[in-house]
Amino acid sequence: MKKDKLVSTDLVLKNLKIRIDECTEEVKKFLLIYYIREVEMKIAAEYPSGLMRTPVHLCIGQESIPVGISEHLFSHDKVLSNHRSHGHYLAKGGSLFSLFAELLGKQSGCAKGRGGSQHLIDLSVNFIASAPILGGTVPIAAGVAFSHKLQNLDGIIVSYLGDAVLEEGVLFETLSFASLHSLPILFVVENNRLSVHTYINKRQPERELKEIGPAFGLKAGEFDGNDIVEVSNAGRDYINYVREVKKPAIIFFETFRRLEHVGPEEDFNLGYRDPAEVKLWLAKDPLEIALQNIFDNKNKVKSIDQLKSQIDYYIDNTWKLALQAEIAQL
């Protein structure tokens, strides 16, 4: 692997004007989780204004997964995602201005203001696409990986999907194709156990999800998606496997969707969530786990608040710039 390639984590922090040479790895992870969280919180806060005429599927509570995966990716690695894609896009280095502009229907949006929240793209950082159709980008990701293999290109492909895609036939066809052709692709399953309002045990037979991988000849494992250390370690191992062995793999992360399926509000009052489970997952906030990891590694944290303020300023200023941009011409 070429040493001059920037990993996505460093790229994002440089875009935020944060000096990465002053940050330990633990601090970097925390800052990226904080960045994604605050972007999503900004969207949630501004959404009631009516300026964003697009549905939004926010990833609050799931931020550790894209951070722990992306820190092991290089700029030439490619990522494809789904309807809940903001975190994947930002962790890969996607332009925040282009994201905000897209949500606001502006011409300078990443999809020219025509796609909205669920159609993100930033080819400058090899974030290839996101799309709302359940499992829709999974076979596309395999096609990109197949193209890489045919052209003998460097880099791997990451395909993010939710647990509901495990009920789509296209996933199993894609896993079979990826295995048959030894494609350089990592499937990352974010298992928040919910398909809109329906728990996974109401939709699928009782089984270990990781057993799906070996059934197609794929390396597979299941991990805690809210613990940044566990996500990072698993991400490193599986990404290195795909790079070095040049075979596909699938990794499952258990996590928690804090807000409603679509929209900026909490929905615990609707009664479809188990209150005990909600309490358990709220206590496993990815942001708090990442912050504790900083202390556990005896990092000096005097500058954390200052760095958070820099991120807050960047987000607020970028939002203002996006508001001033030209409306998309339909």
Contact present, 67 and 91 (Cβ < 8 Å): yes
Average pLDDT of the chain, as a whole number: 93
> For residue range 265-294, what is the model confidence (pLDDT) as tens digits?
999 999 999 899 999 999 999 999 999 999
pLDDT single digits (tens) 181-204: 999 999 999 999 999 999 998 898
Task: For the chain, list the domains and their CATH numbers.
Answer: 8-193+200-257+277-323 (3.40.50.970)
- Give tens-digit pLDDT for 298-318: 776 668 888 999 999 999 999
Sheet holding 78-81, edge to edge: 127-130, 78-81, 157-162, 185-191, 249-254, 219-224
pLDDT band at 296 (very low <50, low <70, confident <90, very high): confident
Segment 5-29 shows an average pLDDT of: 81
Output 20 or 300, whichever has higher pLDDT: 20
Q: How far apart, in whole angstroms, are the C-alpha atoms of residue 152 and residue 150?
A: 6
Which residues is 129 bridged to in the sheet?
80
The pLDDT assigned to 3 comes to 42
| Tokens matching residue 134 | 């359940």
